[in-house]
Each structure stands twice: as structure tokens, then as C-alpha cells.
Chain A
């Protein structure tokens, strides 16, 4: 069964350092999402791509976070510099289409990258 791949699974870094996370969506999925999940809370959308274009990045802290999906396939999320409050699980998800009325458009999630900033 096709899966969303993410790496690394765990990352420990010191504050002010740069970190990068990688995501490879399910083959053929045009839509890719990055979420941040703080312990005890639900996932919050950071950025949404349709192919290589950003659809929504309104919740992305653009002073330190950046995301790209250059060829419309895999994607990288970067934090520079990392802060203590960035410690969280970073989840990548993909879906085959933007949901149209009555459609499902279910998102498939990867295992996530757990980031700890010291």
C-alpha cells in the first residue's frame, strides 16, 4: 500500500540552529500539506501545495519557516533559526485532489518528524 514518507523521524537540535524536514507524498497526489502538532493538541495546517504552487501559507511563520515543492513531487520544510517553541510533531499529508462538493478528498498522513529544540 502506498504511503507518505517523511524523514527524519526524530530530530534534536539546539535553538538558533537550522533544521529541515523532507516529505515524499503518495505517487500521483497533487496536493501536499504540512501540519504542526503540539503535544496534546490537534494538527494545525502550516502550508498547502497544489503541485508546485502554494495554495495556503497563511499560518506559516514566514520569518523563520519556509517550504518548497520545486518539482511538484517531494517537499521540504525548513526552520531557521529554530526556537524552543518549535518543538512539536511535523506531519506531512497528501491527497489526490482538491475536494469538490460532495467529494471526500481524504488526506493521507505520513508518520511525522518529532522535533525537539533544546
Chain B
């Protein structure tokens, strides 16, 4: 089976930094994706980690520790448009498993 745990909701201030944590247990794990989903829209790809360590891409960075079953998404210089759900998605044997997502609200 699989288990994915991430906080349900977070609030942060515009211009700040926020870290969204995810712990997971899946069978057939190869790597971990992070997706962003605005309300009523499709999820869009943010990042992918297969090796331990930090992957940086502009304002967004993602970290993976395979041995600990742990990942986080780091968002810097928050903007109002970053208000969305962030989905942690470890791979399984044939597909991606998604957590319930973390709903981030950015306030002025």
C-alpha cells in the first residue's frame, strides 16, 4: 500500500519563504514529483527528484531523502498567484500516488 502525509493547509505572507513537507511510503518507488493545482484547474508539474538532495528551479526548490521517505517543497519570494494546492506525488510501480495536497494561502 501507500501512505502520503502532508499538511492540509498553510498560510504565508507575500514575499516570504514557505516550506511544505511530505512524508511517504510507497512500493515501487523511483522518484517524487511535486505538482501545483489551482482551484478548478488541472495539476501542473513543478519539480522532480530521483536522487537525494536539493533541486533548485527559480523560486521553487525541492528536496528528497529516500532513506527517510521525506521530501519538501520550498517556495521563495512568495507571490499572491502562488496561492494554490501543492501535491506531493511519489511514484509507484505503474503510476503516481498523490497526497491530499497542501492548500497554501498567500496573504498581503
User: Is B truly associated with A?
Assistant: no
B residues apposed to A, CB below 8 Å: none
A residues apposed to B, CB below 8 Å: none
